[in-house]
Amino acid sequence: MPESRCLQGIWSSPWIFIFAAAGSAIGLGNIWKFPYMLGEHGGGAFLLIYCLCLVVVGLPMLMAEVALGRTVRSNPVDTVNDLAERRVVSKYWVVVPYVAGLTGLLILSFYSVIAGWAFAYSRRAVTGTLEQLNTVQSEALFQSFLNSPVEMLLWHSVFMGLVVIVVGQSVTRGLSNVVRILLPTLIFVLLLLAAYALVVGASADAIGFMFRLDWEQVTFDVALSAIGHALFSLGVGLGAMFSYGAYMSKRMSIAKACTIVVGLDLLVSILAALIIFPLTFEFGISADSGPSLPFVTLPIIFDLLPAGQAIGLVFFALLALAALTSAISMMELFVSWMHERFYIGRLKSAFLIGIGVWFCGIAIVLSFNHWDTKLLFDLNLFELVDNLTSLILLPMAAVALSVLVAWVIPEPMLKNEMIAKNPKHFRWWYTTLKYVSIPAAVLITVAGWIGV
Ligand code: PFF
């Protein structure tokens, strides 16, 4: 496909690509979801399997998605249509990018609600509501927040409005300015907080919990969650990285860039856990208390710090911004497709899609309070959408995109694309993708379908 199909321009420097991709990867999945999953799945075993999944499943799939994007320089929908028209792939493949795009929007419908929590907590830090809370009060505060749908809806709306505005700009322009400052600041604040939490909290218990391997905890269920979360955390499978790859300069090494992204993603997850668990153990909060864990634990550390409320404000605002840079990539697939295929303005496309996602978000908001009803498999709507997307739809889409790269696109074309100076590296990636990453992700998808 000709290079002229790239309508949005190229990232101005290699580091901007890395920041943008890391901006998509690093978000609520690292700071909110990873610690509570680690808590629910027993610590060390989950962490070990998770790291393994990042390297042998996530990294090869991430490279595949970026490589495909850079090869074709178009959006995923048009790319697959084009390959089908040229009879390189069967016409049924056309379903894949639509499923990927819809999965992104489904994730966005709950992601936006949780990002709204971060905004609400930033505001609470300003108004002093988070001051002098003990564990019971912090839990009660969070519960009362969950019981107020109007406030949740308000912040969900603010977040969706911001997503629409940023995605409405050219991605290479809007995003690069934000992530350049955001990511280093976020990592710096997390480092400070982790150091402080380790000093004031029960650090020995926390480190034991996080890094001690208890073989009894290594179960099939833990492995499935770890693969699912590795894909979610890297943001592969939704065509987002595909779109970012499409803006990537040909001179850049995909392997190097993606390895750095995976490293940064893991670093942020571990830092988040190092903040939360010393406090969890110190203050007797249950490690497996689920989605509320970070929001109950963090206000306690801010209260212990000098100028804690200001730090709390900075932290929750950074969390909301990190969520914003991830949310952008969930919407990007359809926005770039509507723009490139139908010449609808980016802002208008983003607005139309945003309205749909906003409505779905209302149902998610209600599932935390008035409509907290078990709908299926003993799960409420939020839990259902979360499980459906991260255990079934996202791995399915990631597998499909990877199969396209590993089994359908001719090997010489890829070899060229990966700029593998060392042919062994290319072989390593290609073989792992074909025979390890794809089968492992297929396993999790099938297990998800049959409800293991
Ligand atoms: N990786 C993001 C996180 O960990 O919060 C979530 C995400 C972003 C998932 C982009 C999927 C995606 F395409």
List, for residues 92-130, the tens digit of each pLDDT value: 888 998 999 999 999 999 999 999 999 999 999 999 888
pLDDT recorded at residue 266: 97
Whether 2 has a pLDDT exceeding 50, the answer reads no
Query: What is the arithmetic mean of pLDDT over 270-294?
Result: 88
Say how many Å lie between the first and final Cα of the chain, rounded.
42
Alpha carbons 379 and 387: distance in angstroms, whole number: 9
Instruction: Please answer whether residues 122 and 270 qualify as being in contact, where contact means their C-beta atoms are separated by less than 8 angstroms.
Output: no
Percentage of the chain surpassing pLDDT 90?
A: 45
The residue type of 234 is L
pLDDT per position as a tens digit, 141-187: 999 999 999 999 999 999 999 999 988 886 666 666 777 888 899 99
CA of 113 to the centre of ligand 1 (A): 14
Alpha carbons 65 and 415: distance in angstroms, whole number: 14
Instruction: Please answer whether residues 170 and 346 qualify as being in contact, where contact means their C-beta atoms are separated by less than 8 angstroms.
Output: yes
pLDDT per position as a tens digit, 9-20: 666 677 778 888
- Dig out the tokens for 402 from the structure: 């990877």
pLDDT per position as a tens digit, 178-219: 778 888 999 999 999 999 899 988 999 999 999 988 878 788
Alpha carbons 247 and 206: distance in angstroms, whole number: 41
Nearest-CA neighbor of 138 among 34, 289, 273?
289
CA atoms within 13 A on the CB side of 429: 29
CA of 135 to the centre of ligand 1 (A): 30
Can you list the alpha helix ranges (DSSP code H) found in 41-170? 44-53, 59-72, 76-85, 95-127, 135-146, 149-168
Alpha carbons 284 and 367: distance in angstroms, whole number: 28
pLDDT recorded at residue 5: 39
Give, using CA atoms, the residue closest to atom 11 of ligand 1: 235
Long-range contacts of 206-209 (CB under 8 A, 24+ apart): 206/274, 206/277, 206/278, 206/280, 206/281, 209/43, 209/44, 209/277, 209/281, 209/287
Pocket test for ligand 1, best of 37, 61, 107 (most atoms within 8 A of CB): 107
Query: What is the arithmetic mean of pLDDT over 365-386?
Result: 89
Q: What are the structural domains of the chain?
A: 3-449 (1.20.1740)
Alpha carbons 20 and 182: distance in angstroms, whole number: 10
Burial string for 289-322 (b: 16+ CB within 10 Å, else e) reads eebbbbbbbbbbbbbebeebbebbbbbbbbbbbb
376 bridge partner residues: 379
Average pLDDT, the chain: 87
CA of 137 to the centre of ligand 1 (A): 31
ipTM: 0.98
In degrees, to the nearest 5, what angle opens at C-alpha 286 toward C-alphas 297 and 123?
20
DSSP 3-state assignment of 249?
coil
Looking from the CA of residue 323, the nearest atom of ligand 1 is 5
DSSP 3-state assignment of 172?
helix
Neighbours of 155 (CB within 10 A): 24
Alpha carbons 92 and 115: distance in angstroms, whole number: 35
Q: Which residues line ligand 1 (CB under 6 A)?
A: 24-25, 27-30, 104, 107, 232-233, 235, 238, 240, 326, 329-330
Pocket test for ligand 1, best of 105, 326, 332 (most atoms within 8 A of CB): 326
Neighbours of 240 (CB within 10 A): 28
pLDDT recorded at residue 409: 80
Alpha carbons 135 and 294: distance in angstroms, whole number: 12
Alpha carbons 423 and 29: distance in angstroms, whole number: 34
Give, using CA atoms, the residue closest to atom 9 of ligand 1: 235
pLDDT recorded at residue 7: 40
CA of 330 to the centre of ligand 1 (A): 7
Instruction: Please answer whether residues 246 and 79 qualify as being in contact, where contact means their C-beta atoms are separated by less than 8 angstroms.
Output: no
Looking from the CA of residue 29, the nearest atom of ligand 1 is 4
Query: What is the arithmetic mean of pLDDT over 336-356?
Result: 91
Whether 36 has a pLDDT exceeding 70, the answer reads yes
Query: What is the arithmetic mean of pLDDT over 427-443?
Result: 91
Whether 451 has a pLDDT exceeding 80, the answer reads no
Whether 304 has a pLDDT exceeding 90, the answer reads no
